[in-house]
Amino acid sequence: MATYGKKRRVEENLDEEGPPNKDKDNDSSPDEDEEGYDDDSPHEEFNEEIQVEFEALPPQEDDFHGIKRLLLQLFLKSQVNLSEMTNLVLSQNHVGSVLKQSADQLAEESDSSEDDDNIYGFISVINISDKREENCIKSVRSLLDERCSKCGSAAEREELLRIIDDPKHSVGLLLNERFINIPPQLAPPLHKSLQKDLELASRKNPKFKLDYFLLICKSYRENSLPTKSKKKKKGAQQQMQSELMFTNAEDEYFLKAAVLSFNYPVSEESDTALAGTWSFDDTELKTYRTVMVVPASHISDVLSQIEENLTV
């Protein structure tokens, strides 16, 4: 598989929540872990401060299991074939990055040989218009159609399917997954690098020239809805909507630029999320997936907001 030299090194402190949440059991396949693995669930709380040096590198074949596990925390118990989707990501390794601990730092750690799956996040785009016949893409379409029918309006469902199914549109599924306590300051260079990759790739292959970006983002809100009276119910729902929060901080800026968005709950597919340091004493939250469609023409403004608000 062809690769090119793309390396970005970022040094970050991980203090409040400890090291990134990783599944260290590399002896079992992601298929075996699908019932229990979920990054929305509470984790052990750490107080140790560590320094981790990250590199953003092109995806390689040996990154398969790490990427698939990250996709699993997004799609949970859906019927999407994650192995097939992972292979699509790997087949276009000149677009996107995997986030790894630097090789130099790993070499200095005595137990680094025990960690073969050194992936803390990845970012990529799959052209679902070009790959519409792939089973995993058909499953994503069916999933969104079903969830929008239940949780969105008829107008939102009609617009969603119009954008996805129109052969005149080129729609990219933006996959942006990382472990929960990876510093958000890594988001600006990762997104900027992805857009540069797409620009370079589109010069050789028009399929990378996209009209829309489709995002499925991990979100959550307080698991409470005051309903003292029917008159106040609508206002309570609006207040609840305003309290939507995202696991990846930059998704807030994509939402502002979206021409279409809706939320669907996933709490029944995962453990209930907790706020703050994700300890058992924190506020209980209800987990969602937020689906949004962002025109490619708005991406430049989104990147500017991400860089302005998330850069150290």
pLDDT tens digits for range 254-294: 999 999 999 999 988 875 454 444 444 556 788 999 999 99
Q: Are 105 and 120 in contact (CB under 8 A)?
A: no
What is the C-alpha to C-alpha distance for residues 179 and 67, in angstroms, rounded to an integer?
11
Going from the C-alpha of 73 to that of each of 57, 180, 228, 250, the distances in angstroms are 21, 10, 36, 18
Global model pTM greater than 0.75 = yes
pLDDT in tens, 174-229: 999 999 888 999 999 999 999 999 999 999 999 999 999 999 999 998 866 554 44
Q: Kindly give the pairing relationship between strand 171-178 and strand 212-222.
A: parallel
Taking every pair of C-alpha atoms in the chain, what is the biggest distance, in angstroms? 63
Nearby residues of 305 by Cβ (< 8 Å), 6 or more positions away: 253, 256
Running DSSP on this structure, what letter comes out for residue 271?
Answer: P
Rg, Å, the chain Cα set: 19
Report phi then psi at 37, rounded to 5: -85, 130
What is the C-alpha to C-alpha distance for residues 104 and 301, in angstroms, rounded to an integer?
36
The helix (run of H) or strand (run of E) holding residue 64 is: helix 64-75
Q: Which amino acid is at 94?
A: H
Confidence (pLDDT) at 104: 67
